[in-house]
Structure 1
């Protein structure tokens, strides 16, 4: 299970893209360039980043509740592990984006 940026969110995004433009995921058959997909890449990244930040804040709040004695240790561990996985996933995506940018910048025109 991956926290903020999990397979479920990507499945939801793919399902949303498929319903907006059915041919898009099948090689573009029957789609036109003027059709909108529904969400831009920037919107998807923004949504994923927001969910990651919310996961991290939730883990922090759970830790504070544990210090007050209001939360169980298991809840804190689950929240912290979820935040850790979300952060690791975000870092992996960032590394891929930077790598792609560097590769494009090295291309000869």
Structure 2
């Protein structure tokens, strides 16, 4: 689920530029590249795959079919992914609550 900083910065710059160049300040429909939904879907599928890999390696480790280092590495990756997903979820909820508090 690691997204390079340069990709995130480029996406932000692209989105900001589109919003500034449209009359009324509204963002235009994307013309190239993946949409936000596509990026989100890819990140979620990568997260799920990382979690599944951790589970599979744990099961293989229990029956003695995997090296301990591989099991620890897979479980650590799954743990870091879970922490990142929870952090993003918390930020999204916080942003939504802030929007709800805005006066109309």
After TM superposition, the score normalised by the length of structure 2 is 0.77
Higher mean C-alpha deviation, range 94-103 or range 64-73: 64-73
What SS does structure 1 have at the residue aligned with 2:17?
coil
Please give the alpha-carbon distance, in whole angstroms, between the structure 1 residues aligned to 2:86 and 2:59.
25
Query: Residue 25 of structure 2 corresponds to which residue in structure 1?
Result: none
Q: Offset at 1:94?
A: 0.4
Aligned length: 98
Counterpart of 2:14 in structure 1 is 24
Alpha-carbon RMSD: 2.7
- Structure with greater helix percent: 2
Taking CA–CA contacts closer than 8 Å with sequence separation of 6 or more, which of the two structures ends up with the larger relative contact order?
1
1:68 and 1:11 map into 2 onto residues whose CA distance is 42
Unaligned runs of 5+ in 2: 23-27
